[in-house]
Amino acid sequence: MSEPKKVGRRTFLNYATAIVATGVIVGAATYLATPKGATTTVTVPAATTTVTVPGAATTVTAPGATTTVTAPGGKTTTGVPQGPLKIGLTTFLSGPSALEGSHAEATAELFVEEINASGGILGRKVELVKVDEAIGTDALIKAVRKIVTEDKVEFITGLVSSGDGTSLAPIIEKELFVPTVYSTATTKALIEDVNPNPKFIFRASNYDPMECIAAARIVVKYFYPDVKKVAGINPDYAFGRDEWAIFTAALKKFKPDVEFVYEAWPKLGTTDFTSHISALLASGAELVYSSLFAGDLMTFVQQAGPMGFFKKIKFVDSVCGSIYSDLKKDWFPEGVLAGMRQCWWTYPPNFPFREQFFKKYFDRTKKYPIYTGIGTWQGLMAFKNAVELGYSLLGYWPDADTIAKLMERTMSMMTPVGYRYCRPEDHQTVGNQIFGVTKHVPEYDFCQLDPLYVYPPEEVTPPPKVKTLDWINSW
């Protein structure tokens, strides 16, 4: 019940105060939007005309003098569209996973700066349109829809979360039709269940079966061959579920007598692992397999260390690579089997490409790049090469369909971490899978790996079109 209205002066003052207050608030909000280390989305209001016929593919019309109308199945026939080339970067820009996502952002920015310094792609300057994955899957889908249909983004890269990857896939393949490279999003569900015959979507990083199977092999052969009791702690979403399922299947195949004594499923972003740590310690496990990454991994290790966890239990984490230059000696223990995916700062040795690239990156960010960064870079290069190749063959800027087709070939390339091959059947890119056991070394403040285990992709990857679990069962 609100109090009775008071007329006259009071009401006027109310209005005035309210308007001023709202103005101040909105002004403050806009002011807050200016960068303070925060990210700004670069959006140029486009004067575009879109002609959509129900049932046809949505058209992408470039702003400027040339208006192109694409009928389904038709081709654009103008040279190079005018106006900037907008590239969408969807990655974690905030929150605990930002430790992983920031590499995608940094690599993309570096790439764009260099490309624009040399004139852009076929003369078109590149602009990044950033979307923060931390806003949640639902909001992300809405945002991606917006940047494609409204901002006319022509390529999307950077995506990190497996959950977002599987959710976004049908929308991109069936509704938006934009070439997309997931930098990470490594769940096998993407190419086995959700999107087995991709057209527009590519995945740049090694995916889950590779690290899980490599981990199982290393454990059985080198790390802990007599292990009997194994427990797991994995984040409760697509990625964590995937990892545990594959690792346990592979391990069981190698060692049928192994027993899985406990599984913890903390929510992504949990800040208090003490109960989980106690439960793991109480379960009698000898080895714990984890796919916790970035902020969660940090919190877990910092809470587990003082509780004596690493004295009693051998620890395996498949994605230490998410923060490898932050694994400082003073809190991260030795003797952990750490997974790096495709990216370790000294591998391949004596490789100038890697040395230059990593040095440039380190000078800028004070960290070494991780798989999200290399994946984003690879996607951007593939796109650029596809566009240039298409142009050189056809004489005009190719349409989205053609670019996607060409990317099937241009995606395979020599990267700063070695050669990576993209399988045309499912657009999955594979390369060396790196693991190592952490060691404290006087020269460096972050943990080094000794011994280092590098598996070539053929040894740890199921063949295309074969489901991982079926493949493991067939051994």
Partner 1 sequence: MDAGFLLSFLFNTFFYFSILISVSVGLTLIFGVLGILNLTHGAFYALGAYFTISIFSYFTGTSNPVLYTILLIVASFSVGVIGMLTERLLIRPVYRLAQEYQLLLTFSISLVIYDIIRYIWGVMPYLHREFFSSLGYVEIAGSIFPLYYILLIGMSLLSLLALYLLLYKTKIGLLIRAASMDKDMAIGLGINVKMLYSLVFGLGVMLAAYGGALQVPFTAITLGMGGEETNMAFAIIAIGGLGSLKGALLGAFIVSLVRALGVFYFPELELVVIYLVMFLILCVRPFGLYGKYERRV
Partner 2 sequence: MNAPQFRRRRVTIYMLMLLTAIILTVIHDFLGPYWSYIVMYGLTVGIIGLGFNLLLGYNGLLSFGHAGLFGIGMYTVGLSIRYFNIDSLELLILLAIVVGFLIASILGYIASRLILVYFALFMLAFGQIIFTLVYKLYNITLGSDGLPITVTKIFNISFSSRAEFLYYYYYFVIIVFILCTLFMWILVNSHFGKTIQAIKFDDIRVTYIGIPVHKYRYIAFLISALYATIAGAIYAPLAGHITPDNVSFVFSGEIVYLTLLGGMNSFSGPIVGAFVYTLIKVYLSTITEYWQFVMGATLIVIVLLFPNGIMGLVGLASSKFRKR
Rounded Cα distance between 159 and 147, Å, is 14
Among the listed ranges 36-44, 153-161, 211-219, 382-390, the one in contact with partner 1 (CB under 8 A) is 36-44
- CB 13 to partner 1: min, Å: 15
Query: Which residue matches tokens 């910092």?
Result: 302
| Contact of residue 299 among partner 1, partner 2, none (CB under 5-8 Å per partner type) | partner 1
Q: Which of residues 312-331 bind partner 1 (CB under 8 A)?
A: 330-331
- CB 101 to partner 2: min, Å: 14
| Contact of residue 379 among partner 1, partner 2, none (CB under 5-8 Å per partner type) | none
| Contact of residue 14 among partner 2, partner 1, none (CB under 5-8 Å per partner type) | partner 2
- CB 41 to partner 2: min, Å: 6
Rounded Cα distance between 142 and 330, Å, is 42
| Contact of residue 281 among partner 2, partner 1, none (CB under 5-8 Å per partner type) | partner 1
How many residues in the shown chain lie near partner 1 by CB under 8 A? 41
Site for partner 1 contains 259 (CB under 8 A): no
Rounded Cα distance between 428 and 411, Å, is 10
Residue from 161, 291, 299, 429 binding partner 1 (CB under 8 A): 299
| Residue (39 or 385) nearer to partner 2, CB | 39
Alpha carbon distances (Å) from 459 to 102, 211, 213, 432: 31, 11, 9, 10
**Exposure of 169 by Cβ count < 10 A (0-12 exposed, 13-18 middle, 19+ buried)?**
buried
- CB 257 to partner 1: min, Å: 24
| Contact of residue 380 among partner 2, partner 1, none (CB under 5-8 Å per partner type) | none
- CB 148 to partner 1: min, Å: 25
Rounded Cα distance between 343 and 324, Å, is 9
Q: What is the rounded end-to-end Cα distance, in angstroms, of the chain?
A: 72
Rounded Cα distance between 344 and 82, Å, is 40
Site for partner 1 contains 38 (CB under 8 A): yes
- Across the strands, what pairs with 289? 232, 316
Query: Which residue matches tokens 């190592």?
Result: 436
Rounded Cα distance between 377 and 158, Å, is 9
- CB 377 to partner 2: min, Å: 25
Q: Are 201 and 172 in contact (CB under 8 A)?
A: yes
Q: Are 90 and 98 in contact (CB under 8 A)?
A: no
Rounded Cα distance between 311 and 435, Å, is 21
- CB 37 to partner 2: min, Å: 12
Among the listed ranges 138-146, 160-168, 180-188, 295-303, the one in contact with partner 1 (CB under 8 A) is 295-303
Rounded Cα distance between 92 and 101, Å, is 4
- CB 279 to partner 1: min, Å: 5
* Interaction site with partner 2 (CB under 8 A): 1-2, 5, 11, 14, 17-18, 21-22, 25-26, 28-30, 32-33, 38-39, 41, 43, 50, 52, 54-58, 94, 132, 135-139, 141, 143, 145-146, 149-150, 162-163, 166-167, 170-171, 174-175, 194, 236-238, 241, 265, 267-268
Pairing of strands 413-415, 418-422: antiparallel
Rounded Cα distance between 167 and 144, Å, is 12
| Residue (2 or 474) nearer to partner 2, CB | 2
The gap from C-alpha 7 to its chain's centroid, in whole angstroms, comes to 59
| Residue (209 or 235) nearer to partner 1, CB | 235
Give SS3 for 140: helix
Q: Are 377 and 342 in contact (CB under 8 A)?
A: no
Rounded Cα distance between 397 and 403, Å, is 9
- CB 445 to partner 1: min, Å: 14
Site for partner 1 contains 263 (CB under 8 A): yes
- CB 270 to partner 1: min, Å: 8
DSSP state for residue 305 in the 8-state scheme: G
Rounded Cα distance between 431 and 342, Å, is 7
| Residue (39 or 325) nearer to partner 2, CB | 39
Query: Which residue matches tokens 């295309």?
Result: 464
| Contact of residue 20 among partner 1, partner 2, none (CB under 5-8 Å per partner type) | none
| Residue (22 or 82) nearer to partner 2, CB | 22
Tokens matching residue 189: 């569900």
> Which residues of the chain form contacts with partner 1 (CB under 8 A)?
1-3, 32, 36-38, 93-96, 98-99, 134, 262-265, 267, 269-272, 274-276, 278-279, 281-282, 295, 298-299, 302-303, 306-308, 311, 330-331
